[in-house]
Every structure is written in structure tokens, then in C-alpha cells.
Amino acid sequence: MNEEELKKISEEIKNCNKCPLYKSRKNAVPGEGDFKSGIMLIGEAPGFNEDLQGRPFVGRAGKLLEEFLKSVGKRREEVFITNVVKCRPPNNRQPEENEIKICTSLYLDRQIEIIKPKLIVCLGNISASYIFKKFGLRFESMNKQHGKVFSISNLYIKTKIVATYHPAAILRNPNLMNLAKADWEIIKEEMEKL
């Protein structure tokens, strides 16, 4: 694994002006954590607090993510946390297709290639749609596919993929909490196999 290359990608992200999101960002958010853990958590895009601090999942959704991590015996520093898109979309709107295309081809794809995660946890629909498609899987909906384990093996990576509800979606709709807790039980089992 090439730590230098990962750092270089972070620097590129911080200086990126390849899509319109750079105009309104305060800080780009490359991602952080233990890239040697074999575990990658991938969210959607930075929000207000992440944009201020340049770090992923540091607002309310981040607190909930930390609780899920605690429930599986992990601290946030023990996994690698990043997003599909590295700059905050204005007013927290969803990232647009061209923003996702530009940002992932320049950054997330390379981060995955270097880290070679053994387990990818997709947080929310945007992340799951992108990652499933990237690895040749069909993503229908979170309601249908959350908490299921998909094994992927190709020339450059052997990994498992699990999608679960985005912590922000759970905060908006607490009915999702029990489903998410069950997903994290499954994620825990997969982590224990690593």
C-alpha cells in the first residue's frame, strides 16, 4: 500500500478545482483514518461542519456514525472514512451526476485502488449506487439491499460490500434506527472475519 500516494491524493483534493463545487467550499474533505485497517466507510458528501473543519462526519450524523462504530467495537480512527464527493454541495443538496463522475474518477477510485479495502460500508443511497455500479452490482434500493453482504473479486481487489442507511437519514427518520442497528450487527460479523 502506498501511503505517499494516498497523501498526494489528499493534497490534490485540497487544491482541486475540477468541478464547480470548489467555488463554494471552505475546505475540501479528503477522508481520514486507518487506511491499513482494510475497512472503508464511504458517505455521500461533506455537510456544513465537515466543510468548516475539512474532516468527514464531524456533525450530528458523525456522532451517530461514531455510536454505530462503538457498537461494533471500533473508534473512528480505526477505519478509513471518506465520501463519494469531497466538497460540500451548496445547501447540502445531493451531489449531481457530473460532480460524482469527476470527483470519483479523480479521487475515490484511486483511494480504493490504493487502500484495497477488504470491507466497504456504503453509507446511504448515493454511496451505495456508486459503489455497487463500480463493482458490477445492481443497486435497486436501500430498503431492498441494506445489510446484505456482496462479495467482489476482480483483478485488483477482493472485497465485501455492505450498504446501510445514512446516519443523516436515520436522524430524519428514526424508524430506520432498528434496521440500521441490525445492519451494523452484520457489519460487525464481517469485521470480525477480517
- Which of 177, 194 has the CB closer to ligand URA? 177
- Which of 42, 191 has the CB closer to ligand URA? 42
Shortest distance (Å) from residue 47 CB to ligand URA:
4
Round to whole Å and give the CA distance between 70 and 107: 28
Shortest distance (Å) from residue 35 CB to ligand URA:
17
- Which of 20, 94 has the CB closer to ligand URA? 94
H runs (alpha helix) in the chain: 3-14, 48-53, 60-71, 97-103, 109-115, 125-134, 142-145, 167-172, 177-193
Shortest distance (Å) from residue 2 CB to ligand URA:
24
- Which of 37, 50 has the CB closer to ligand URA? 50
Shortest distance (Å) from residue 56 CB to ligand URA:
4
Radius of gyration of the chain (CA): 15
| The C-alpha cell that represents 48 in the structure block | 456544513
Q: Which positions touch ligand URA (CB under 6 A)?
A: 43-47, 50, 56-57, 61, 83, 168
- Which of 33, 47 has the CB closer to ligand URA? 47
CB within 8 A of 90, min separation 6: which ones?
24
User: How many of the other CB atoms lie within 10 Å of CB of 102?
Assistant: 17
Round to whole Å and give the CA distance between 48 and 55: 11
Shortest distance (Å) from residue 64 CB to ligand URA:
10
Nearest residue to ligand URA by CB is 43
User: How many of the other CB atoms lie within 10 Å of CB of 7?
Assistant: 11
* CB 42 within 8 Å of CB 108: yes
